[in-house]
Amino acid sequence: MAKATVMAILAIGLIAGAWVSAKAAEIRRYVVEGSRAAGLSSCVEPTERMRRMHMEFIKHQRIVTVHQGVRDTKYSLAGCIDCHISYDAQHKPRPINQPDQFCGACHRYASVKLDCFDCHASVPNRPGATRSASAGGSTDGGGR
């Protein structure tokens, strides 16, 4: 009986460990292959800080942009989109809020409503916004 109990506990432990590993791998996916961010070693802030505080940065930037007219900063939503967006086979940007894309995947994982793109563009909306145009490092445009 003791052997069966130990085996059951080990089996439950292995299943739980596999589940935790799968979830950890899913949460580590903070960049999407094909995005400019996938080729960079860091974001505008360390990754853990961005995960915890990105909404605070976005809210602060909103105030600076709306009240002071400052649009060229490292926390702009347009800059986030330009760096984290991926492109399809035709070099067209894929909407960043889709469930398998950067914003959509994290918000789905965290069960948090993603409503930024109810008003803001989910793809760069400047003329010529294709993979070849953004690969040069431009971060202008992309938001509303």
Long-range contacts of 137-144 (CB under 8 A, 24+ apart): 137/36, 138/82, 139/76, 139/78, 139/79, 139/82, 139/83, 140/78, 140/82, 141/78, 141/82, 142/77, 142/78, 142/79, 142/80, 142/81, 142/82, 142/85, 143/76, 143/77, 143/78, 143/81, 144/119, 144/120
Given this model, what pLDDT does residue 137 score? 38
Q: Residue 126: what pLDDT?
A: 66
Position 139 scores a pLDDT of 37
Six-digit token pair at 110? 């965290």
Give the pLDDT of residue 104: 92
Q: What are phi and psi of 87, to 5 degrees?
A: -125, 150
Report d(CA 60, CA 62) in Å as an integer.
5
> CA-CA distance, 54 to 60, in Å (whole number)?
10
Element at 134 (helix H, strand E): helix 131-134
Rounded Cα gap, residues 55 and 49, in angstroms:
11
Task: Please report the pLDDT score of residue 128 as a whole number.
Answer: 57
Q: Where are the domains of the chain?
A: 31-134
Average pLDDT by stretches of 10, the chain with 144 residues? 76 70 53 83 86 90 90 85 90 91 90 91 73 42 38
